[in-house]
Structure 1
């Protein structure tokens, strides 16, 4: 496939991501209840998914510079949502690990977002829901083939 035929796909991806955020998730509505920024939540979700990581790895995954990571991590530590753990392979390094309180917060946040998402999706017709489900499954299947 040449570059010209890839352009519309790239444009569609760029346009759909903000739509998901704006129309379906609206993180700002949920964050006020827990007083965390989207970056804080991304860090918690990442640690919940991948386990303990060094700060530099968290930054790489989320495209956040190390100087910006420090205050984010400090706030999460202050709120007892993550903790510092000495790296077992190299004690000079510190890993960040989600706490039980952090896991509970993530689960509550997921439930809140899922509930709101279900309410929005309930307004769609059965035909639209079926088409959306098939389309999302196909997108997931195709994207999982990428490196």
Structure 2
């Protein structure tokens, strides 16, 4: 693909992500405002999906540095949303586990978030919804091809 076309794609991506966030995820600014930072939800989602994990693995999955993960996990533990558990196979490793309170918060967040996104999309015609769905699937497939860095 020629450089000019790649430059256009890059320019469009810089516009795409803020627009996508503004139009589809606008509700997240209002979500639990002042209660829980959005990064908490990312960590809780990872733990809910993958089970107990070491802090370094969580950080890798949510793209947060180890130094930032330590304070984030400290706050999640302090708020009763996660807990530290010794690894059964290696006593040097401490795993992080989501608590029932963390699962409750995550469930409420998902329910609210999903309803808000559905409201945003409900203004689209069936044809536009189908195009949007296909576009999201295509983008997801292409992003998976880019690798796991």
Asked if the contact 1:77–1:83 (Cα under 8 Å) also holds between the matched residues in 2, the reply is yes
Q: State yes or no: 1:134 paired with 2:128.
A: no
Structural mapping, 1:1-147, within 5 Å: 1=1, 5-26=5-26, 27-32=28-33, 35-147=35-147
Report the CA distance between 1:14 and its aligned residue. 3.5
Q: Distance in 1 between matches of 2:11 and 2:60?
A: 24
Deviates more, 1:121-130 or 1:2-11: 2-11
Q: Structure 2: how far apart are the matches of 1:72 and 1:62?
A: 12
Deviates more, 1:123-132 or 1:137-146: 137-146
Scaled by the length of structure 1, the TM-score of the pair is: 0.84
Structure 2 CA distance for partners of 1:14 and 1:72, relative to 1, 3 Å: same
Q: How far off is 1:3 after superposition?
A: 5.3
SS at 2:145 equivalent: coil
Q: In 2, distance between residues paired with 1:95 and 1:2? A: 47
Task: Count residues with an aligned counterpart.
Answer: 146
Following TM superposition, by how much is the alpha carbon of 1:20 offset from its aligned partner in structure 2, in angstroms?
2.4
Offset of residue 79 of structure 1: 1.8
Gaps spanning 5+ residues in structure 1: where? none
In the TM superposition, what whole-angstrom CA distance separates every residue of 1:27-84 from its partner, at most 9, and x where no partner exists?
2211327x11111111111212222221122222323222322221122112211110
- Structure 1 segments of 4+ aligned residues over 6 angstroms from their partners: none
Structure 2 CA distance for partners of 1:116 and 1:10, relative to 1, 3 Å: same
TM-score by length of 2: 0.83
